[in-house]
Amino acid sequence: MAEEIEAAPASEGTITPVVKCPPCEEGLPFWMATFTDLILLLLTFFVLLLSFSKTETAKYQAALGSIRDAFGGNVLRQGEVIEKGKSAEDMPVMMESKDFIRPFPIEFLTTEGFFDKYEFNRESEENLNLMREDLKEFNLADSVKIHEMPEGVKARFKDKIYFGQGSTRISSMASSVFEKLVRLLSKKNWTIFVEGYSSTGERSIDGKSDSFILSSLRAAEVVKMLVAKGVRPEKITTVFYGDSRPIKVNGKINKKLSRRVEFIIRKRDLSAPGFKVHGK
């Protein structure tokens, strides 16, 4: 289409040509359609990645705990937070955390910390399965309570050894459970913790030993029995608490049950080297 030229009046009798632009095509430019396709493909890709991802609630809560500590104690709670009888407009966005959230260890975000944590968790799971198998093999599964602790798994025996007032002589014990325990320690690689206790304000019969010394003597007496039965001494760790952890029944301290020795078996001893950490 030929360009139209119009004459415009000018000074001194000259004529200046005026050029008109050709009419624009309808619709958006082609490059915008290509750009939109690219954005949609990227969005689809990230949605696909999100669908394959696995959200771990424990890690989320731990990270949320660190954010809560860093920003003054408030947390942004997810999920259903609307209480009965209240509308969404009445509920604040920021709420006080009712449950203690454990801070997230920042060293876990490093490569070294990640693999140390993974190996520790894997080892704990293996020890837990092994402990269950060994307790079942020696008919002790119903006699213990298994706990998963930060330092590993442990099994606390329900049956205890009890002592008389101010005495280190055993007044009662579950002999069958004790014999099974000895066989377990003799054939399997477990460490036993012998924990001695005493009742509140208890002293020895002669009055020379206080509650802490008395609890240590009780633990030592049981250790001698284990060694005499064939348990290697390096498998035994002695712990005594004195009268600091009495047994309570219906909210009242039971002195008879507090004079006791308890057993705990674990894979690791307290002297285990653990993981190396940096001094700074």
Clarify whether residues 159 and 188 are in a common domain: yes
- Residue 197 pLDDT more than 90? yes
In angstroms, the CA 227 to CA 251 distance is 37
Q: Does residue 79 form part of some domain? A: yes
Backbone φ and ψ of 86, nearest 5°: -130, 145
Average pLDDT (188-194) is: 86
Predicted pLDDT of residue 271: 57
Q: Does residue 49 form part of some domain? A: no
The tens digit of pLDDT for each residue in 159-188 reads 888 888 888 888 888 888 888 888 888 888
The tens digit of pLDDT for each residue in 107-166 reads 444 444 444 444 445 556 777 778 888 888 888 888 888 776 665 677 788 888 888 888
Clarify whether residues 88 and 113 are in a common domain: no
Q: Could you give the number of structural domains in the chain?
A: 2
| CATH code of 157's domain | 3.30.1330.60
Place of tokens 């408030």: 74
Clarify whether residues 185 and 257 are in a common domain: yes
From 80-89, 247-256, 259-268, the region with the lowest mean pLDDT: 80-89
Clarify whether residues 122 and 260 are in a common domain: yes
Q: Does residue 279 form part of some domain? A: no
Clarify whether residues 86 and 113 are in a common domain: no
Predicted pLDDT of residue 108: 46
pLDDT band at 104 (very low <50, low <70, confident <90, very high): very low
Clarify whether residues 116 and 246 are in a common domain: yes
pLDDT band at 278 (very low <50, low <70, confident <90, very high): low
State if pTM tops 0.85. Answer: no
Average pLDDT (262-275) is: 69
Residues 200, 276 contacting (CB under 8 angstroms) = no
Clarify whether residues 170 and 79 are in a common domain: no
Clarify whether residues 175 and 91 are in a common domain: no
Q: Which residue has the higher pLDDT, 14 or 159?
A: 159
Q: Does residue 69 form part of some domain? A: yes
The tens digit of pLDDT for each residue in 30-56 reads 788 888 889 999 999 888 887 777 666
What integer best gives the mean pLDDT of the chain?
Answer: 73
In angstroms, the CA 153 to CA 7 distance is 98
Q: Does residue 239 form part of some domain? A: yes
Q: How many CB atoms lie within 10 A of CB 5?
A: 11
Q: How many CA atoms lie within 13 A of 142 on its CB side?
A: 2
Clarify whether residues 84 and 132 are in a common domain: no
Average pLDDT (191-201) is: 90
In angstroms, the CA 256 to CA 267 distance is 31
Predicted pLDDT of residue 56: 63
Q: Does residue 71 form part of some domain? A: yes
Predicted pLDDT of residue 91: 45
Clarify whether residues 82 and 152 are in a common domain: no
Clarify whether residues 170 and 84 are in a common domain: no
Clarify whether residues 75 and 141 are in a common domain: no
Which domain, by its residues, includes 89?
58-96
